[in-house]
């Protein structure tokens, strides 16, 4: 009886192993492939090594890393209008499965989609956002396109992280459009005369009474809308 049982179990295991090699797509299928790889639907071993899973080596046997985004797997140049950012060449290692899956899973929420880990990029590519991303051309970013990290973080691009309160607190009536204080999209310079209807001569006279002669940098002393000036005159303890 025991011998017959072991023989039966051995035959079943042998059948399973054989079917795993001969008809793997019918044994265990995680779902259909993406349309671009539909021709490989019944050829699991085009991507998977037996008992090891998918491997980057099998991906790069068809996809030449230097051509990704520029040419097809057959070497045909992709039209300029249809090209994707060619950043795979800047990866520290070819770990395709870190981002890709040929068996797409249902995305129940936006958060369930894969977020690209910028740590996979080489240092020089991480420092140059425009090597992958299109540079912004709006007035807000004019002259700032090479300083993305000043306001943004790769892990969470939005919202921007620039700490305006470090220089001036945007409270009360000061919570306004950038162009009210920063003219010509030059965010290193500012003016308070966009709202405060003062004449420079009047301001000079008023501040001279307090012994203040440098009135060019208002926020050195006036840090918010709360009224009272802070810091010492003539470039005291506050940052410029």
Residue 233 has phi, psi (to 5 degrees) of: -70, 160
Residues 6+ apart with CB under 8 A from 189: 182, 183
- The rounded distance, in Å, linking the Cα atoms of 65 and 17 is 34
In the chain the beta strands, taken as DSSP E runs, fall at 48-49, 53-54
Residue 201, pLDDT score: 80
Two tokens at 134? 């299109």
Residue 76, pLDDT score: 92
- The rounded distance, in Å, linking the Cα atoms of 240 and 237 is 9
* Surface-to-core class of residue 102, CB atoms within 10 Å of its CB (0-12 exposed, 13-18 middle, 19+ buried): buried
Instruction: Tell whether the model's pLDDT for residue 25 goes beyond 70.
Output: no
Residue 239, pLDDT score: 38
Among 74-78, 83-87, 210-214, the range of highest mean pLDDT = 74-78
Residue 77, pLDDT score: 92
Residues 6+ apart with CB under 8 A from 144: 150, 187
**What band does 237 get if pLDDT is binned at 50, 70 and 90?**
very low
107-156 tens-digit pLDDT? 545 554 567 888 888 888 888 888 788 778 776 677 676 778 778 877 77
**What band does 87 get if pLDDT is binned at 50, 70 and 90?**
confident
Residues 6+ apart with CB under 8 A from 60: 94, 96
**What band does 240 get if pLDDT is binned at 50, 70 and 90?**
very low
**Residue whose structure tokens are 């395709």:** 96
Nearest-CA neighbor of 160 among 147, 176, 179? 147
> Which residue stretches of the chain are H helix?
2-22, 24-27, 56-60, 123-126, 178-181, 200-208
Higher pLDDT, 157 or 122: 122
Mean pLDDT, the chain, rounded, equals: 77
> Which residue stretches of 70-114 are H helix?
none
30-82 tens-digit pLDDT? 778 888 888 888 888 888 888 778 888 899 989 999 899 899 988 999 998 88
Residue 114, pLDDT score: 62
Q: Give me the half-sphere count of Cα atoms (radius 13 Å) on the Cβ side of residue 33.
A: 13
What average pLDDT does range 84-95 have in this prediction? 85
Residue 238, pLDDT score: 36
176-199 tens-digit pLDDT? 777 788 877 677 788 887 777 677
């Amino acid at each position: 009886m025991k011998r017959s049982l072991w023989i039966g179990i051995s035959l079943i295991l042998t059948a399973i192993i054989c079917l795993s090699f001969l008809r793997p797509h019918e044994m265990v299928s995680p779902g259909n492939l993406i349309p671009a790889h539909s021709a490989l639907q019944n050829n699991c071993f085009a991507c998977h090594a037996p008992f090891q899973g998918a491997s980057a080596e099998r991906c790069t046997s068809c996809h030449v890393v230097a051509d990704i985004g520029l040419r097809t797997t057959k070497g045909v140049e992709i039209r300029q209008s249809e090209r994707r950012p060619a950043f795979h060449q800047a990866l520290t290692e070819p770990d395709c499965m870190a981002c890709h899956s040929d068996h797409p899973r249902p995305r129940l929420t936006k958060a369930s989609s894969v977020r690209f880990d910028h740590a996979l990029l080489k240092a020089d590519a991480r420092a140059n956002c425009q090597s992958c991303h299109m540079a912004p051309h709006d007035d807000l970013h004019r002259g700032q396109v090479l300083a993305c990290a000043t306001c943004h973080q790769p892990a969470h691009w939005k919202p921007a992280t620039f700490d305006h309160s470090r220089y001036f607190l945007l409270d009360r009536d000061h919570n306004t459009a950038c162009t009210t204080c920063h003219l010509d999209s030059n965010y290193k310079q500012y003016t308070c005369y966009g709202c405060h209807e003062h004449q420079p001569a009047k301001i000079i006279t008023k501040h001279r009474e307090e012994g203040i002669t440098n009135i060019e940098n208002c926020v050195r002393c006036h840090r918010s809308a709360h009224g009272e000036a802070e810091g010492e005159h003539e470039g005291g303890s506050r940052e410029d």
